[in-house]
Structure 1
Amino acid sequence: MKKLLSFGSAVILILLVGCAKMPLRGDYVEEKAPPQIQANENMAAIYFFREWAFTGGGMSYFITEDTKTIGLLKAGSYFAFQATPGKHTYSAETEARSSVTLDVQPGQVYFIEGGIGMGFWAGRPQLAEVTKPIFDKAKPDLKYIRLATPEEVQQFKEKEKSNNAGASL
């Protein structure tokens, strides 16, 4: 009995420790007309993208710059970010973590491709710096998304709550 309790406790601990917050539908907004994010003499531009694939297609993850959440990637999406110069680490996390560190230079444009690899409990994010031609080839099939504002998240939750209340009548 003690072995069974120890095993159960270990499984629960692994599940609690290994679970990062996963994005929900209300955490992002699809944009029909993406903003024009460009590099300039003070800032760099970074494009994050993830092609659609059946394997891991339902999994999404937040992207952080150092410790700040700057966007999220879901299958078939991309977003752009203006970065300050300096060394920054861009990360994604599910049950595992993947990171790319860039020495960001003003006036430069960077491209980071996201993907999903096989994991034990969930897909593992994969981030890699790639070239512009790789992004340009994928871009026509991608939807631009951005993080929802706190107000948009609240509106989404209220709408879901009212939809669920109407369904239970």
Structure 2
Amino acid sequence: MIAKLGRRRVLIAILITGVLWGSGCATLGPVYTKADKIPEDHGLVYIYRPSGFIGGGVAYDVKVGETVVTTLHSGGYYPYFSKPGEVEFWAKTESRSAVTIDVMTGKVYYLKGTVGVGFFVGRPHLTVVPEEVGEKEISDCKLIPESK
């Protein structure tokens, strides 16, 4: 009898975890393809987050100033066309992570987002990675649709 109750509790816990995990998923678009061209007088920043089990259900907004550029989901990417100059990208849940990129016209940058362990919710971590690393890691990511 006790073993049956134990199994039932484990099964219920697994089901609840699955429902909560699934509710954090986003509907993403097609797999990564390079942008055809960069608009004149702009640079391109690919903001991406490789798929991962840790923090997979956590999504967070990536902002420039107070403007939300995209909501970054596990396995997603977003191409952000920026005017040249120093641009600070930042994200915050329990803690804040920020990166400044000196965007140059016609150049491509890769901004990688990850999630670290937090007390209540995962903590965002943003880093600029070299092009060869970014191209490899972003290849399995799917396009994050524009916010409406």
Normalising by the smaller structure, the TM-score range is 0.7 to 0.9
Root-mean-square deviation over aligned CA pairs: 2.3
Counterpart in the other structure of 1:122: 121
Q: Distance in 2 between matches of 1:124 and 1:55?
A: 11
For 1:99-129, what per-residue CA distance to the aligned partner results, in whole angstroms no more than 9, with x for missing partners? 1011111111111000011111111000000
Instruction: Name whichever structure is richer in helix by fraction.
Output: 1
User: Is 1:143 matched up with 2:132?
Assistant: no
What TM-score results when the alignment is normalised by the length of structure 1?
0.66
Report the secondary structure of 2:137's partner residue. Answer: helix
> What code does the residue aligned with 1:108 have?
K
Report the secondary structure of 2:47's partner residue. Answer: strand
For 1:10-37, what per-residue CA distance to the aligned partner results, in whole angstroms no more than 9, with x for missing partners? xxxxxxxxxxxxxx879x7522376836
> What code does the residue aligned with 1:123 have?
G
For 1:28-47, what per-residue CA distance to the aligned partner results, in whole angstroms no more than 9, with x for missing partners? 75223768364354000000
Query: 2:43, 2:106 within 8 Å by CA — same for their partners in 1?
Result: yes
Counterpart in the other structure of 1:18: none
Q: Distance in 2 between matches of 1:35 and 1:65?
A: 22
What TM-score results when the alignment is normalised by the length of structure 2?
0.75
Counterpart in the other structure of 1:8: none
Counterpart in the other structure of 1:32: 30
Q: Structure 1's 98 and 37: CA in aligned 2 closer, same or farther, altered over 3 A?
A: farther
Among all aligned residue pairs of Structure 1 and Structure 2, give the percentage whose two residues are the same amino acid: 30
User: Is 1:88 matched up with 2:87?
Assistant: yes
> What code does the residue aligned with 2:99 have?
V
Aligned length, in residue pairs: 125
Q: Distance in 1 between matches of 2:123 and 2:53?
A: 15
- Give the deviation of 1:146 after TM superposition: 2.3
> What code does the residue aligned with 1:106 have?
T
Q: Distance in 1 between matches of 2:83 and 2:142?
A: 25
User: Is 1:76 matched up with 2:78?
Assistant: no
Query: 1:37, 1:45 within 8 Å by CA — same for their partners in 2?
Result: no
In structure 1, the gaps of 5 or more residues are 1-23, 150-169
Q: Which is worse superposed, 137-146 or 100-109?
A: 137-146
